[in-house]
């Protein structure tokens, strides 16, 4: 089955904020973060059920090399990314979006 990926505006903003933060620390590191997020999203799109359910129906996919995770829901043939959070943040922040 082919899934359509929808990234909610809140998640897009969080990805942009993480990119900006990493890019300020070390030029080029923000691009590495984006590549890691892209690779993670590709893995989710290929096999969304492979990732752990962490809250009700919300799945979590960890990014490689960065302490971030994508949180998403599967709805019919859609993957809806609801958040991109640092793994040390409180889960209540993204759980409200589910």
DSSP one-letter string for the chain? ---EEEE-HHHHHHHHHHHHHHHHHSTTHHHHHHHHHHHHHHHHHH-GGGSPEEETTEEEEEPSSSSEEEEEEEETTEEEEEEEEETTS-THHHHTT-
pLDDT (tens digit, 9 = 90+) per residue, 40-84? 999 999 999 999 999 999 999 999 999 999 999 999 899 999 999
Number of structural domains in the chain:
1
Please report the pLDDT score of residue 95 as a whole number. 67
pLDDT (tens digit, 9 = 90+) per residue, 11-30? 999 999 999 999 999 999 99
Q: Is the pTM of this model over 0.95?
A: no
**Structural domain for 45, as ranges:** 4-88+91-95
- Write the CATH number for 57: 3.30.2310.20
């Amino acid at each position: 089955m082919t899934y359509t990926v929808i990234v909610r505006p809140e998640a897009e903003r969080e990805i942009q904020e993480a990119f900006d933060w990493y890019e300020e620390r070390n030029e080029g590191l923000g691009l590495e973060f984006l590549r890691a997020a892209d690779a993670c999203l590709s893995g989710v799109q290929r096999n969304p059920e492979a990732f752990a359910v962490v809250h009700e129906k919300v799945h979590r996919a960890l990014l490689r090399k960065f302490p971030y995770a994508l949180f998403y829901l599967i709805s019919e043939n859609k993957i809806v990314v609801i958040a991109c959070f640092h793994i040390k943040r409180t889960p209540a922040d993204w759980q409200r979006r589910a």
